[in-house]
Each structure stands twice: as structure tokens, then as C-alpha cells.
Chains A and B, each alone.
Chain A
């Protein structure tokens, strides 16, 4: 039985319409894995390692709260690093993490540890494939394929401070590290996923650690962008990495947006606290000038800590400015386990109230 067929096919159509023009209403989507295991009352260790729990549980939540788009929502930063042997921290009530204090790569002698995994047997790769198959069966929608982008992956196995110092002081070693990550692990993993889902329309990378001020623009330009572009060459132009933040810290915020555009190609995304600081009009103008659709993200912290009234006001504001003449979607950055459900409901009600195109 395809329980979620109508909901998510409609949602996917709404999103496609919003990216190219004016849909019936602004589409809204969210990261909800932490809310999902909490509402389901299951242990996080089981949730993140069992395809059925992860997929069906999340679909239930997406549908319950009326989100338009569903994805297979998992701890996307960890899967590749974990499979290589990176030490992990698992929690009963939280998302698993790589342990930044015990990096897998302690020096050039460890580079051979970065080798193409056996996707059928190593780590959780097979479970991720199974989860996407379940998702496609239940929703009738092609899944968005995901991966951890090269810089964030490198941080996970080398440690942030170590990696940045390598890039500055030992650039040859850092280059080898990135090359191996891209050629030996990420490209094969993405291509393996594409083999299973040849009709998947988009492949999305997560790269929070390549944000400002964690890196400066020069390093993003010289180290981060080329790695993603290489992946696009190897895996296809539908691959994008949209989630760096930090432009509001810069004197010329558009310089980071220009780089974002180089690695998404087809849309621009801004999230709080950047949107909160720069205002949605800044992003709308940029998107219109570059003739691309816009995604604005309402901040995770705000969603967790603000009142439902404040959330309604912010959603209304982002929609009124960002959604003018279509080509716009709203993203609720992360619904943490302690985000009051009233806040999530307030955001979605606001989208349904103010996001309708007449």
C-alpha cells in the first residue's frame, strides 16, 4: 500500500512548480529526524540504523504536520566517515556524531585508510539504499540523494583545526586528502546511489562546516568550491551543496552567494541568522538578478525558542518578500527534539495562510 502517495506527489509537484514559476502555494519542507524519533518514542540508535523506522517514521511526521516535501532524513554528515572507521558517538536520545577529538586521519601515513568502501557491507550504506527504496515505494516520488560534502567530510575524519592548519601549512597533504575523499569515496558512493535511483532528480550535499567564519572566502574559493565542482563533473550537474551560512558577517555578503551559486547552479538558499540579519529582500533581489529560484530557511534556534506568534510573523514576512512572483520555497531548518510542536504548527499554518497565490 502506498500510504503517502497523494500527499507527497502533490508536494513534489508544488515544489517543482515553485522552482520554475508560481505554484498554488509556497511549498514548505523541514529537517525533522530529531522530532521523528522523539514522537515515535524510539531509541535514537535504532532510529538511525533501521531503514523502516527512519523512513516510515519520518513520513508519518511529515504527513502529520503537513509538510509538502519529504526526504529520507538521516544523519547525513556521518555515513561515509563512519564506514571508513571514524570513531562515532551514539546517543540514546540524539543524532549520532563523529567524534571530533579522535580523528581517523592523524597524518599522511593514514591516507590509505581513505579507500573505496564496499557499499553492500560497510557501515550503513546498504541501510540508506534500503531507506530510499522504501521511501520511493511509499511516496511514488524519486528520492533526493544525499552525501556529506568534501570539506565537512574531511573535517569529520581529520578534525577541524588539524585540517585548516593542513590547508595553510601542509597544502600538498591537504590536497591528497581531498582528492582521495572525492575520488575514492564520495564519487563512488554518489554513483552507487545513482545506479539504484537513476531517475533521482537531485543530489544534495551537506556542508555546514564550510561556512563563514569557520573558513574565510579565499579558502572557500580555493579549497571548497573546486572539490564540489569536481564532484559535479564526476557525478552530474544535478549535484548541489546549498547549506553554507555566514554571509551576514561579510562586508560584501553577495560574495558568498556568488560562490553558493557556483555549487548549486540552479537556486540560491539563505538561512537564519543570515536572513534575519540581511532581510529577505536582499536575497530576493539577488535571486531575481541572477534569474534563479530562492529558498529561505527559518532558523532552527528560532523555531525552538521563539513564540508561535513570532514564528508566524517571521514566516509571513519571508513569504511576502521572498515569495513575490513565485520561484520560492520555505525551509524550516531543523526541528529539534525540544522544538514545541505548537511552533512547527504555527510555521505551517502561516505558510498555508499567507503563502497562497491567488
Chain B
């Protein structure tokens, strides 16, 4: 018993430390230019600003501002010179002597993965890396490729890492396999603040409101009732050794609808906007005529070089979209860029140091599954999500890619109708059981489809306070037996203040289904707390399952190597396993709802019943009734007085 517990504890430690140390040596895949200068902060123009000036910046005198502006003007030219030099020869490492004040670099990438169901998955990644030290609290006022709106937010609120995603639809792991970057339906926001922040909750509140404005989304609905501080599930993805989850805030809005109004501000953050490069494909009429749409922004500090002496700020904008065979594809297994996006590619973004299109041809080594045209000689191999995948690569910075027509319209045409898909190793399912409006039960099922290896998962579920979890009914079973979690972190809810938070570390036995059930009671809300559409139901956000899944091939742990962008987000520490995060379905739960449509009737009826029925009944029941004697005449009263004086009984 003790041994098994130790073993489980060990597994937990492995998982945690993996996540932690992973952060310490994050991929520094900015291969082209490596700046090792330590004193470049001073060169970054103007006086060195002490920490915490983000808040003081507003009170700065105009003279200082002017000086800073002049200083940065000079710096721009330097930056551009260096940029040009870098563009000419990408592989050359620029040596410190020329010492650019702050370098930034932009890469863009599109990955297309044809899916076995006949659908097609397109994933855009845009990465801007800026060699500047935001985190030191230096005031930065010149922006080139990095969007200023985000930069200011990050400085002002002392944000170490920011991850925000907007998703419309649910990723179908069973049909589509793993996405490159998972995200839950609706909006998700998680932020690591720097340890200098004192009032984390206040900063978080302000930050959500500012982001709400930037992304034109309802992030301002994030408040204490849907914010949690997970203790283990969301470790920093960038460099940094802060693991105190007091500085972490995590919130989801499962009801958030994503549409063009969110896409436009997202596109504005790109250096080329939607004018050139891959982003010309991002036309909303096609992107929202899809089965799955997800856009995200990730900001994190990364290493500048393998030694990780200094850090850079990385902004990663991703957009994932799945086009459906039957609705978008008219039932034909034939996909082209034009059919997907109603545009073709004609040029790379001029500001990008790399601009590539990858097409996953792993299942098509000899071209027996589908035709790919135009053919490309460039092939790239990478260990992605525990599997070795092969990609055809189109480099948009090469003019030859576009051919004589000066446009690239990649065409995929299937030969055989269907291929077999290897099921995902880990997938999950979640639903509400029971009927009636009093109680219910949340079931979370996790499938480990690996034939012989068990692996650990961290399950995080956040449940709003109006579903009162009966934590004593929590059961975890695998293969019909109790599966005791080796770590449980449970924070009970407080009505109208904070949600339930349940985190568990579980070991999933090989080839098994693990079921986590917990019963709940539905609360009756105050009448002003109901949403305008109470009969629609109330949402419970997705559970998050973070896992270290055994890998089929040896994973590449050298994070400094050049890798495609889609493969360099989650750090990888072990060769034998890879990190994976999946989200379950959100739940829609009906609460007991009064009939709001007839308040007038209710008031009238209640008043009548109370006034007439209850009032008089109460009256009848509480009073005692006596028959009143008619009062005696005057003569009789006098006679009685006399009789009393005589001691004779009265008349």
C-alpha cells in the first residue's frame, strides 16, 4: 500500500517537475540572430527606468518623453539595418559588436493537415519575438513588429505570461486527432503575473477589462465567480521559475460566441495586417463557414539563446480552422487553398523572416492516398504529438514557389475514398446524468487507448457555485475498481463569490476508461441573478486534462534546434512522452426557473390568496368567539349593587 502510494507520489512529482523544469529551458528557436549583449538595455535609449515605472509612466514630464522619442528615432534606423542584414543571410549569427538595441523577428506559417474524415485542418501560426526585457520593468516606448496595444498592456499590468483563446466549436479528437494547440469552446484566459504585483485580483480585474476592449469580447464578464487559481494544471509555458500559483489566474467563458468582430482586432496585431503574406487568407466569410474555428494569442518570455542568459518576449498568434467535407467541401474530397479561403497566396509578408506552408503528407508517402499539386521537393520531418510526421514545405520567400502563374494554390485530391485513422491515445467525454431539477451527476470519462502503458493525467474542473457539488460522492473508477488519485486539490465554492475548483492527479491504466463522477444539487437563484434567457440553461466550463502521453517515437528534447512553429509551443523534456492537453465538452445545465413571463398574474394571485384566504382563515382559527350577554337595565344594575353590599348573590 505504502509502496504504491510512494509510486504515485513519484509519478506526480515527475509530472510536476517536468512541467516546471520545462519552463526553465524553453525552446529558444530564434535561430537566425542571437544577441548576447547584456548591456543592451541601456542602449535601448533614454535613461534606465527603475522597476515599477509602468504605473508612473503617465506622470512623466514632457521633456523626458521628448528625449526618449529622439533616442528611439536613432535606434529605428539601427534596427532596420540589422533587420536587413538578417534578412539577407538568415543563418548567420550576428555578433555582439554591432549590438542592436532590440531585435525583433517575425515568422509566419500555415500547416494543412488532411484528415481521414475528409475534412481538412488548417493552422496558422504567426510569431513575433522581441529581444527586449519587458520583465525587468523597463519602459519601452518604441514598437516595430510587436503590437503596441499588447505591449503597453503587458507593461502596465506586469504580466509575465498571457494566454487567451477564442474558440467556436468543439475539437473532435476522435475524428481529427490532436490539434497543434488545444483550446476549449468559448473564451479562455490565463495569466501569470510577475511576483512584483501586490494586488493580483485587482490587476486581474483591470486586465480583463482592457483585454475585453482590445479583443472586442465579453472578457469583462470574468469576475471572482469564474476565476480560479489552479495549483498544478497551468504551469508557466515560458521561461521563469515562478510557480507560486498566487500569481496565476485562470478563467473560461464557455458561452462566448466568436465572430468577425473578434477576428478583426486579432488580425490588427499582425505586422502585415491582412494585406500581405499568409494573412490574406484570413477572410471571415470563409473562416466562419467552417466546422471549427479557434484563434489565440500567447505571450510569454523565451530564451534568446541556448544558454538562456537573457530573455525575449514571444508573441504567438494562432488560428486553427477545420473545413468540413460535407458543408464546405460539397462532399468532394478535394481541397485547395482557393476552395478553403477563396484566396490564393501570391507573396510572403515582407516583414517576415520566414514564411512557410506545411502540408502533412505522412499518410501519403508514395502518393497513393492523395495527389498534391504543385509538387514540392522540400520535405521536412518532425516528431509531432508523439508521432513522426512528414511535411511538404512551400517556402513563400522563394519566388520559385509561386511558379509561372505567380500564385500558389495548393491542391489536394484524394484517390481512395477513405483511410483508416489510428484512434487518439487519450480522449475524454463529459455529461450530466439524471433528470429532474433538484440533483444531478457530472460524469467525466477519460479513455486511455494505449495498449500497454499507463500514464498520469491532471484533471482540472471548475464548476460554478450554483451547482453545489457533494464532494463526498466523488468517485474515481477504472476497470471497475477504485482508482485513488495521488493528489487532490479541492477548493469549495462560496455562494456568489467563487466557483468550485477540483484538481486531481490520476494514473490511467492501459487500455481503460476512467470515470470520475460527482453529484451536485441545483441551487435556486435569486430572481435578479437569472440571465435574460434562464430557460436556456447555465454553462459549466470545460474540464482540462493535462497529460504526459507515451510517445511512439523518441521526441526531440533539444529545444534550441530549428523547428516548425506548430511544433515548438509545448516544451518537451523527455524523449518517451509528450505533453498534451485536452478539453472536455462544456455542459449546459438547467436550473429550477420560475415562470418569469407572468409576474403580474403571480402577484395578483398571491395577494388575493393571502388577503382573502389566509387572512380570514387565520382570523377564524386564532379568535375565540363568545356570545355577548345583552347589558342589564339601570334598575337591575342598582339592585345588584345593593345585593352585593348585602352579601346576597346578584340577580
Q: Are chains A and B native binding partners rather than an unrelated pairing?
A: no
Instruction: Report B's interface with A, CB cutoff 8 A.
Output: none
A residues with a Cβ closer than 8 A to B are none
